[in-house]
Structure 1
Amino acid sequence: MQEYPRYLYRAPFVVQGNGPIIADGAVLTEDGLVVAVGRYAELKDLDAQLEDYEGHVITPPLVNCHAHLELSYLSGLATAGSDSPSPGDMTGWIRSLLAARAENIEQDTVHDAALMALATLYAGGCRGVADIGNRPESSFLAEGFKTEVLFFLEMFGLCGESEESALAALSGFAADVRCTAHAPYSTGARLIQALKKRAGRERSLFPMHVAESAQEIEFLRTGSGPFRDFLLERGVAVDSFTPPGMGAVRYLDSLGVLDAQTLCVHAVHVDEEEISLLAARGGAVCLCPASNRYMGVGTAPVEKMLAQGIPLVLGTDSLASNPQLNLWQEMQVLRQDHPALAPEAVFAMASVNGSRLLGLGGRLGTVAPGVSSSLLAVRCQAKNEGDVLEYLTSTGTDIKLEWLE
């Protein structure tokens, strides 16, 4: 059994995540847990091995609320340059993705790339991940890994035979398999409702791609446009699909699946009425700013969401739509796109908000007694509390850190 010595970590600043930044702070750990947090002057006489992190700030680990580790071997799609679809062309990108996935790739290659992506996230300070995949065996990917992975099996089936087949498959999954819907344009109403009912029984989060592109909203409102053409190419019986005639959020609410356990991923193309609806139902939103920028789909109305109290978290999406899996980059891009955002709100999206949403709040996301002693020491020359979060949320991939274990 591994033994954890009693350590006192000192740094010029400690970012608690659920309270004010502590100047000249310290964190006492023992047996893998945080025992006390406070000013160094208050804790310095305790019996513990002192580790002084001058020139650093101690922070909670980060939490990634949307990733597709399975797609990591397709990283070339996010660096394809002139071969990439035009900005906002979601169906063009999906075609490229499906063509790449159709190639005969060794499963060891897929598995190794996913593990490398997970290791990259960990090296960047990420300790919790919500991972979306299409293969049930991907749920075992992170066994024995330090980063906690909550795996969700994503299901498709818009209408007709494809929806019936998915519903039949769903009934055969064990209760402990977390299942979710892909998106309103690819998952039929009955399948969405069945998946949400199952998630409710298991008290599970229900993440879903929602309102990522303008093409999606066109299809939901009119049943026409690039998504109709794409689905016809794929042999989907689109004529049997009745478009709801409304935006994605309003559509999900009409199905009775929008509540505090529903996580709308992306939520770029939502109107003010839908923002109010999300707030009223308690729904959360996962922002993926770097992926959205690469795909050219636009930016989410973040300020309006915050003004209505919608819980916001951050995700990286996949290496197929984002050249880097790095939550520091997500914070940086978010602030570039929304310069009026307060840095403390942005850091919360990448840490405490995500840990609460994924049910990890008792162990991760804050620096407080009782949480895991897996914390971050981030190199930072900030001179005052106000500069700390400004640096953490705007520096991006230039951040240098080490783990306190």
Structure 2
Amino acid sequence: MKIVAAKWLFDGETVQSDRAVAFDEKIVALGAPEELKAEYPNAKFFELDSRTVLMPGLVNPHVHLEFGANTTHLKFGDFMQWLESVIAHRDELTEACKAGCYKRQIDAMLASGTTTFGAVSSYGKEMRACKAAPQRVVFFNEAIGSQPAAVDALYADFELRLEESRTMASERFIPAVAIHAPYSVHPVLIKKILKNYGDLPLSAHFMESPAEKAWLERGEGPFKPFFENFLKQTAPLCFPEEFLQLLKGKRALLTHAVHADEKQLRMIAEDGHTITHCPRSNRLLGCGRMKLEKVEELQIPWLLGTDGLSSNTSLSLWDEMRAAVMMHCNAELENISLELLKAVTSRAADALDLPVGRLERGRWADLIVAPLPDDPESPGQLPLQLILHTKRVEHLYIQGEKHV
């Protein structure tokens, strides 16, 4: 057993001072350092520098690894230009992203403190790299395809990938399901997947771009020639509300929701879904700003994800938090900083139904030690200063085992 004592500790909800955590694979106790030393006299005791923060490992619920070879291949600034560039370079980028590319992304997330991530996979090529990752991985096998004649073939491909991931299942590798988006997955395919695999963790992209909103709500906009030319499809598959109705009774992670209107957000709130916010991806693809104040008013839980390197420049949640602080410029700084730390720890763990994300007895000992340039003078400012200055972590434990 180990005891780590810290002047500053974030437990997943609040900032505390002069506390310690006792743990082996799981957290055994949280308390005053001297009390834990007396209770567990044989434990190895470590006292951290006052310019560090002990906290739960970070949870990134939405990351794509398949296009991790991208640097300057893809066009940013407009969602449709980006999508067309993805289609043009898809084969080149997926071929370039072999096992070493996946490992580099996984290692980069580890170095920045991510101990759990949700890998959204369209092809399954990164499955074995994710299985071998030191982190806890929720592996979202993604379904995509809107052609009615191809539903059976699409389902067979999806099921093959999902069943392969289920043969690898463990406490650290959790098979899951992703529905790509309401504009790109036929409702019959969605119904079939949810009927047979609706008990698994579920993710979907939802109302990401102005183009998606115009197409789904009015059958107009830049998606119209795209679907007519590429797929011979002249109308959207379903309205946004119909898509949400298909998910009723499930607890889904809905990624983006930048262009969800109040009615759709109320449906999300009533049905108990969670929104995964990806501010840097939204900015680079010209999607705009998620209405965070409305999401919070409706008490919808929200998380923070990095998306993938096809629409971002790093998979660091610290980089994502810094961007969110700047994007939501009307939010009170201390409040949004604390909420962002919750979004990447306790709230994300709750949404994925995983016993991590909080420093409390019985949870897996997934812990990180994040450095600060100086001992902060104000506990209220600690979350903000942590977000502004952290790039890498000093120490990282997964199930009590030290990895950094």
TM over 0.5: yes
Deviation at 1:102, TM superposition (A): 2.6
Deviation at 1:56, TM superposition (A): 0.9
Deviations 1:192-225 (A, max 9, x none): 222222331xx21221111010000111122232
TM superposition score normalised by structure 2 = 0.87
Does residue 1:374 correspond to 2:366, yes or no?
Answer: yes
Q: Which residue of 1 aligns with 2:242?
A: 251
Match of 1:288 among 260, 278, 281: 278
TM superposition score normalised by structure 1 = 0.87
SS, match of residue 37 in structure 1? strand
SS, match of residue 368 in structure 1? coil
Does residue 1:181 correspond to 2:179, yes or no?
Answer: yes
Deviation at 1:286, TM superposition (A): 0.5
Q: Residues 2-401 of structure 1: matches in 2 within 5 Å?
A: 6-18=1-13, 20-30=14-24, 32-45=25-38, 46-47=40-41, 48-54=43-49, 55-77=51-73, 84-85=75-76, 87=77, 89-103=78-92, 106=95, 109-170=97-158, 175=163, 176=166, 178-200=176-198, 203-234=199-230, 236-239=231-234, 241-242=235-236, 244=238, 246=239, 248=240, 250-254=241-245, 256-339=246-329, 340=331, 342=335, 343-360=337-354, 362=355, 364-380=356-372, 381-395=375-389, 397=391, 400-401=393-394
Separation (CA, whole Å) in 2 of partners of 1:136 and 1:329: 27
Cα pair 1:291 1:317 within 8 Å, conserved = yes
Separation (CA, whole Å) in 2 of partners of 1:230 and 1:295: 17
Separation (CA, whole Å) in 1 of partners of 2:94 and 2:178: 26
The letter of the residue matching 1:221 is: E
Deviation at 1:44, TM superposition (A): 3.7
SS, match of residue 260 in structure 2? coil
SS, match of residue 377 in structure 1? strand
Q: Which residue of 1 aligns with 2:396?
A: 403
The letter of the residue matching 1:40 is: P
Deviation at 1:174, TM superposition (A): 5.8
Deviations 1:3-24 (A, max 9, x none): xxx2221111111114x32211
Aligned length: 379
Cα pair 1:222 1:243 within 8 Å, conserved = no
Q: Which residue of 2 aligns with 1:3?
A: none
Cα pair 1:154 1:181 within 8 Å, conserved = yes
Separation (CA, whole Å) in 1 of partners of 2:100 and 2:70: 12
Separation (CA, whole Å) in 2 of partners of 1:10 and 1:290: 35
Cα 1:344/1:199, change in 2 over 3 Å: farther
SS, match of residue 74 in structure 1? coil
Percent identity over the alignment?
Answer: 25
SS, match of residue 132 in structure 2? coil
The letter of the residue matching 1:141 is: A
Cα pair 2:142 2:158 within 8 Å, conserved = no
Cα 1:212/1:153, change in 2 over 3 Å: same
The letter of the residue matching 1:372 is: W
Deviation at 1:117, TM superposition (A): 0.5
Pairwise CA RMSD:
2.2
SS, match of residue 209 in structure 1? strand
Deviation at 1:228, TM superposition (A): 2.0
